[in-house]
């Protein structure tokens, strides 16, 4: 029997002038549910979450919350207020009955200093502090608006595990496909003011969405054909004023009204990169480059050779030195040691993750052209800014809008439009996926995959990397960087293989049996019967425990398990913890016996 919802929003309506933002939006959240809220940029996803959180009042509709249910909302921009420290900011989100120990645990898990001042935090650190504040109380419902923005890959993976282990119901907006696939079990699609629900995780969403849009297009075509038939009857049919004919005429007027009011799916962004001359075959060659700031080494003795057509991804934790390495590779920063050689005929276009190329006080058109008239050159063709910006889903009335008034997604699209209009054969993209919706990401992926030049890409989006890059450069330790062939998943598989080999190499090999003459005669130098038996049986016990843990973890990874059976979820968690302890003890005992055997026989 399904549990009653903790929160239900029915028929929400909201208009900010012009076309309604929300016309019939519904959202239902039951205990333990994991819901992905998806839709195009500007469709009203963040507004819908704010209505659910009680921060925005809708024009109409009904909102019900269980009286005792606790809700926490993660905004895209955290407000630290007057909090003197990160610990104080996070602790302020706790209720009277909440466990203060969770503050310490979350700060440690997110790599934050408790005594750090909020004003000193970077964008990624501020995001982590805001996450700690909403997760610390273990509320009944957590509403997350783009939680992975500005987070590095280790933190994203940590957050995935935290959500999967949480008892809270989660509603999340994110452009990170891999994150949604791993954390959600239902999907709510907000499209043209209304919502549709799919009771499956995000992995099934895109196929379902495409099918819905195809059916909708067929229905509109049927409506068009029916209108044509009725108009033909009106012009050439019986003209006698009969009641049934008046009804038919009224029905035609209604059909026309329905057709006018049918809001088609929002158009697709149309992207093409500005083309220029072909670069030389060698684009970048780095030989033994290093960079340090004081005692902190960011890059040490790194070498690579990048050729025309390569698409290179740079990944790693925040602060590892990705941007430093990127700037050395493109010649913007000089290495302390080593050298970088750039190829011939290079024309570079650079997308900065800080959006520094956009001034908030300029209108959109001037930001695009740098104030040089109302035309932009794209592949040698002069285009009016209105027509070019329409390709990136900007309305004509937005041309004079100040950049500072744009949403995060609109700013991201504007910067893409500016960068892609630049004639270039070397695209350098630093976190291009931030704030882009999935449809725009799809087109950017296609553009990069078919780009005839060379691409250097910094991103924390694993799915985006898998779909675009030919190799990945990743840190292995302080200053150590290695290049892996393939995408992010290929790199992760290669790392796992290397770690397995390293673990095998660390395990001591059984010593060769000594000759009878070399064996000590003293009874005290031999293993006891109990020790010999343990040495023979422990490897089997270790293998069995590893198999049991893997099976339990696989069952626990089912996103629907917690909502279906919280008791089974908790039992599995206890079972895994107990078996991991037994496994560690068995491995330690086996290692000690092997060392003792080696000493006795040596």
The structure tokens 């959240």 sit at 29
Calculate mean pLDDT across residues 19-33: 90
A 10 A CB-CB count for 285 gives 16
Gap between the Cα atoms of 490 and 474, Å rounded: 12
Say whether 309-327+346-493 and 7-207 share the same fold. yes
Residue-averaged pLDDT of the chain: 81
* End-to-end Cα spacing for the chain: 66
> Each residue of 532-544: pLDDT tens digit?
777 778 888 887 8
Q: What is the pLDDT of residue 230?
A: 60
Q: What is the pLDDT of residue 452?
A: 83
The answer to whether the annotation marks 222 as part of a ligand binding site is no
The answer to whether the annotation marks 479 as part of a ligand binding site is no
- In this structure, whether the domain defined by 7-207 belongs to CATH 3.40.50.300 is answered with yes
The answer to whether the annotation marks 47 as part of a ligand binding site is no
Contacts of 314 (CB under 8 A, 6+ apart): 322, 325, 326, 456, 457, 458, 472, 473, 474
Q: Please, what sign has the CA dihedral across residues 583, 588, 589, 593? A: positive
> Each residue of 352-372: pLDDT tens digit?
766 656 788 888 888 888 777
The phi and psi torsions of 573 (rounded to 5 degrees) equal -60, -45
Q: What is the pLDDT of residue 520?
A: 42
Class of domain 509-601 as given by CATH: mainly alpha
Residue 2 pLDDT more than 50?
yes
The answer to whether the annotation marks 40 as part of a ligand binding site is yes
Gap between the Cα atoms of 214 and 358, Å rounded: 38
Report the predicted TM-score, pTM, of the whole model to 2 decimal places. Answer: 0.68
The answer to whether the annotation marks 323 as part of a ligand binding site is yes
Q: What is the pLDDT of residue 11?
A: 92
pLDDT band at 523 (very low <50, low <70, confident <90, very high): very low
Calculate mean pLDDT across residues 38-63: 90
The answer to whether the annotation marks 41 as part of a ligand binding site is yes
Residue 510 pLDDT more than 60?
no
> Each residue of 255-308: pLDDT tens digit?
555 545 555 445 555 556 655 677 888 999 999 999 998 888 999 999 999 999
The answer to whether the annotation marks 318 as part of a ligand binding site is yes
CATH number belonging to the domain at 309-327+346-493, selected among 3.40.50.300, 3.30.470.20, 3.30.160.40, 3.40.50.150: 3.40.50.300
Q: What is the pLDDT of residue 235?
A: 55
3-state secondary structure (DSSP) of residue 358: coil
Residue 218 pLDDT more than 90?
no
Q: Please, what sign has the CA dihedral across residues 111, 117, 123, 129? A: positive
Q: List the chain domain ranges.
A: 7-207, 208-261, 309-327+346-493, 509-601
Q: What is the pLDDT of residue 17?
A: 65
The answer to whether the annotation marks 317 as part of a ligand binding site is yes
CB-based burial label for 79 (10 Å; 0-12, 13-18, 19+): exposed
> Each residue of 555-569: pLDDT tens digit?
776 766 766 776 777
Residue 241 pLDDT more than 70?
no
Token digits for 506? 């660390």
Give the HSE-up count for residue 398: Cα atoms under 13 Å, Cβ half-sphere: 20
Q: What is the pLDDT of residue 206?
A: 86
Q: What is the pLDDT of residue 515?
A: 43
The answer to whether the annotation marks 320 as part of a ligand binding site is yes
The answer to whether the annotation marks 39 as part of a ligand binding site is yes
């Amino acid at each position: 029997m399904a549990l009653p919802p903790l929160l239900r929003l029915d028929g929400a309506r909201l208009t900010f002038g012009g076309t309604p933002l929300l016309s019939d939006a519904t959202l239902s959240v039951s205990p333990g549910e994991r819901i992905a809220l998806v839709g195009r940029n500007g469709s009203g996803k963040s507004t819908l979450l704010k209505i659910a959180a009680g921060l925005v009042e809708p024009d109409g509709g009904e909102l019900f919350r269980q009286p005792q249910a606790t809700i926490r909302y993660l905004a895209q921009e955290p407000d630290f207020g007057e909090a003197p420290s990160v610990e104080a900011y996070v602790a302020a989100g706790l209720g009277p009955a909440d466990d203060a120990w969770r503050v310490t645990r979350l700060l440690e898990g997110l790599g934050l200093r408790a005594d750090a001042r909020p004003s000193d935090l970077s964008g990624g650190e501020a995001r982590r502090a805001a996450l700690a504040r909403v997760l610390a109380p273990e509320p009944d419902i957590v509403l997350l608006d783009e939680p992975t923005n500005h987070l590095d890959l280790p933190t994203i993976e940590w957050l995935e595990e935290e959500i999967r282990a949480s008892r809270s119901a989660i509603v999340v907006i994110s452009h990170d496909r891999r994150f949604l696939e791993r954390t959600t079990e239902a999907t709510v699609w907000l499209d043209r003011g209304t919502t549709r629900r799919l009771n499956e995780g995000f992995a099934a969403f895109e196929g379902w969405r495409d099918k819905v849009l195809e059916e909708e297009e067929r229905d509109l075509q049927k409506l068009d054909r029916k209108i044509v038939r009725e108009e033909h009857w009106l012009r050439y049919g019986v003209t006698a004023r009969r009641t049934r004919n008046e009804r038919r005429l009224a029905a035609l007027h209604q059909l026309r009204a329905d057709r006018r009011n049918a809001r088609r799916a929002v158009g697709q962004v149309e992207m093409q990169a500005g083309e220029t001359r072909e670069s030389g075959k060698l684009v970048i060659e780095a030989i033994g480059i290093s960079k340090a700031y004081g005692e902190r080494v960011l890059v040490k003795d790194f070498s690579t050779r990048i050729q025309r057509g390569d698409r290179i991804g740079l990944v790693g934790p925040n602060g590892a030195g990705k941007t430093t390495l990127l700037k050395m590779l493109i010649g913007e920063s000089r290495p302390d040691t080593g050298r970088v050689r750039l190829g011939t005929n290079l024309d570079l276009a650079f997308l900065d993750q800080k959006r520094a190329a956009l001034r908030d006080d300029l209108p959109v058109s001037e930001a695009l052209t740098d104030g040089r008239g109302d035309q932009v050159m794209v592949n040698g063709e002069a285009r009016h800014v209105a027509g070019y910006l329409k390709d990136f889903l900007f309305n004509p009335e937005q041309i004079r809008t100040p950049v500072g008034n744009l949403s995060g997604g609109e700013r991201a699209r504007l910067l893409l439009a500016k960068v892609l209009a630049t004639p270039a054969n070397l695209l350098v993209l630093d976190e291009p996926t931030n704030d882009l919706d999935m449809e725009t990401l799809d087109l950017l992926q296609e553009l990069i995959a078919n780009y005839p030049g060379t691409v250097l890409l910094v991103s924390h989006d694993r799915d985006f990397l898998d779909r675009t890059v030919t190799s990945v450069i990743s840190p292995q330790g302080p200053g150590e960087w290695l290049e892996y062939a393939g995408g992010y998943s290929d790199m992760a598989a290669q790392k796992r293989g290397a770690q397995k080999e390293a673990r095998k190499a660390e395990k001591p090999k059984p010593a060769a049996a000594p000759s009878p003459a070399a064996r000590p005669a003293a009874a005290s130098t031999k293993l006891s019967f109990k020790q010999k038996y343990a040495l023979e049986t422990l490897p089997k016990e270790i293998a069995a425990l590893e198999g049991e843990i893997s099976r339990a973890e696989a069952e626990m990874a089912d996103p629907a398990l917690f909502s279906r059976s919280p008791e089974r979820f908790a039992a599995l968690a206890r079972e895994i913890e107990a078996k991991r302890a037994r496994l560690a003890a068995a491995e330690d005992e086996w290692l000690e016996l092997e060392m003792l055997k080696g000493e006795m026989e040596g």
